[in-house]
Structure 1
Amino acid sequence: MSLMDRLNEDMKQAMKAKDKEKLSVIRMVKASLQNEAIQLGIDTLQEENERSILSRELKQRNDSLKEFKNAGREDLVEKLEKEIEILTVYLPKQLTEEELEEIVKETISEVKATSKKEFGKVMGKIMPKVKGKADGAVVQKLVQQYLQ
């Protein structure tokens, strides 16, 4: 089942259950997917594109969550936490820190990187491997840690 089919099914269920929050998040995600497809001039997105859009949506919400927590806006924090919870259902399983460390080590040895000067080269090789499965900031931190 494609992501769009799954979103449509979940949207119907949310409508029947009168779950306004879930319905709202699903509609936003569908709109983002459709807008991206229109911009690219295609009918359906590839799975990789769908994952990157979902990751982008999740990242936006996580960034907003941090800002709202710093501002003490608990009402908005709760709303965003629910949205994040709904969004994560549609993303592939996230890599654990151990799995991510292993990928970073393998890539560093694959690229034969020895110093921080080769940071960009290492990140360029890692990110396609972990796209949608790991937060870029965490990957960046691990690469910097191993390239000292």
Structure 2
Amino acid sequence: MTTTLKSKLHDDLNAAIKERDELRSSTLRLTLAAITKEEVAGTEKRELSDDEILKVITREAKKRREAAEAFAQGGRAESAEREKAEGEVLAEYLPKQLSDDELNAIVAEAVAEAKAAGAEGPKAMGAVMKIVKPKVGDRAEGGRVAAAVKQLLQG
């Protein structure tokens, strides 16, 4: 029997509690709470698939990154470090991110494809993104992808 991502999170939470790893246990608790909230949202309760759980974890990791940046800008280094550490815990459950070189190679291929289809200049952004998104999937954040596309289209 295969273990689902949710049961893995529960098992890891129990292990973190036994090890008295406060950071890991609180991060996993918050993530499981977000998953449960998502499951009961809407008209009826449902079980999330692993893909949907990955989306929730991705969203939680993004919140941690943004909070870390906000704390760092506000001069609260300790809070920023905590958010970064929580983001690193969540990153263990996410697919490995593409390196900049890998992302640029995929984007360059998509730009060439879009140009072959007649899309030119900055207006080609939408066409290129449509080609890139399925190839990249969850392995790169949308903002990173958009920045790479914009950079290649401009020059």
Do they superpose with TM above 0.5?
Answer: yes
> What corresponds to 2:147 in structure 1?
141
Q: Which amino acid aligns with 1:140?
A: A
Change beyond 3 A, Cα 1:96–1:28: same
Taking the TM superposition and a 5 Å limit, the aligned residue runs for 1:94-109 are: 94-109=97-112
Select the residue among 70, 85, 89 that pairs with 1:86. 89
Q: Please give the alpha-carbon distance, in whole angstroms, between the structure 2 residues aligned to 1:47 and 1:3.
A: 6
Amino acid at match of 2:46: D
Cα distance between partner residues in 2 of 1:30 and 1:6: 11
Q: Secondary structure at the match of 2:138?
A: coil
Aligned: 1:120 with 2:126: yes
Check if 1:129 corresponds to 2:135: yes
Q: Which of these two proteins has the greater Rg computed from alpha carbons? A: 2
Conserved 8 A contact 2:6-2:50: no
Gaps spanning 5+ residues in structure 2: where? none
Distance 1:52 1:70, change over 3 A: same
> Which is bigger in relative contact order (C-alpha 8 A, separation at least 6)?
1
One-letter identity of the residue aligned with 1:8: H
- Identical amino acids, percent of aligned pairs: 34
1:11 counterpart residue number: 13
Unaligned stretches of 5+ residues in structure 1: none
Q: In 2 relative to 1, CA 133–11 (structure 1 residues): closer, same or farther, beyond 3 Å? A: same
User: Does 69-78 or 125-134 show the bigger shift?
Assistant: 125-134
Indicate the residue corresponding to 1:50 in structure 2.
53
Report the CA distance between 1:87 and its aligned residue: 0.8
> In angstroms, what is the RMSD of aligned CA positions?
1.8
Residue type at the aligned position of 2:4:
S
- How far residue 42 of structure 1 moved from its aligned partner, in angstroms, is 5.7
Provide Cα deviations, 1:76-110, integer angstroms capped at 9, x if missing partner.
Answer: 01211210111111111111111111211222233
CA contact 1:101–1:142 (8 Å) conserved in 2: yes
Q: 1:102 to 1:11 in 2, by over 3 A?
A: same
Q: Output the CA distance in 2 between the equivalents of 1:95 and 1:78.
A: 24
> For 1:65, which of 63, 68, 72 is the aligned residue?
68
- TM-score normalized with structure 1 length: 0.89
Q: Which runs of 4+ in 1 moved over 4 A?
A: none
